[in-house]
Amino acid sequence: MHELELIQELKNGNEQAFKFLVDNYQDRVYNTIISIVQNEQDAEDVSQEVFIQVYKSIHSFKGESQLSTWIYRIATTRSLDLLRSRKSKKRFAFVQSLFGKNDELTIDPPDFNHPGVALEKKEDARILAKAISRLPDNQRIAFTLNKMEDLSYQEVSEIMETTVSAVESLLHRAKQNLRKDLEKRL
């Protein structure tokens, strides 16, 4: 189904069009979200929320970007919202037990399993995932979309609503920060 036709069918409330959308985007949306939230249950929940929001908000989609860009933007926003709400809901004592002075996570992320990671690489992936989780939000999003979801700088800039040069800068800083982080820990 062509994108413009799909959008029109979604706006008309066509259930088959929505099923087609979910079938074609669910893996990409889930992989993006799990790369950010690093928890399978949360990633499944946020993925469902993304598609519910797409369904409810399709009438506000103006076609100024590709449908996939709009969906990725919703997915990254929802993921960051979850991370922020997770932090704000913790009681002070519990937060103190989990986070150090600089608000850095001091425990391992629970059972991080990215679907594309081979079994023998899980430990390396866990170490990398933990390092990625320590990146500032914008660097983490840019890195995830470009390196893990294989989106171009242009696509990442549209999703993040910034310039290509800003994305290049974010990726450069993300790589530097990851290198420093991993060198300290290995």
> Cα separation of 44 and 34, whole Å?
8
Strand partners, 99: 105
- Give the number of C-alpha atoms closer than 13 A to the C-alpha of residue 44, restricted to the C-beta side: 4
**Residues with Cβ within 8 Å of residue 43, at least 6 apart in sequence:** 30, 33, 34, 37
C-alpha to C-alpha distance for 27 and 75, rounded to whole angstroms: 12
Task: Go through the domains of the chain in sequence order and give each one's CATH number.
Answer: 1-89 (1.10.1740.10)
For the chain, first and last CA: distance in Å? Answer: 48
What pLDDT tens digit does each residue of the chain (186 aa) get? 789 999 999 999 999 999 999 999 999 999 999 988 888 999 999 999 999 999 999 999 988 889 999 999 999 999 998 888 776 554 344 334 434 455 444 444 444 555 555 555 666 777 778 888 899 999 999 998 998 888 999 999 999 999 999 999 999 999 999 888 888 876
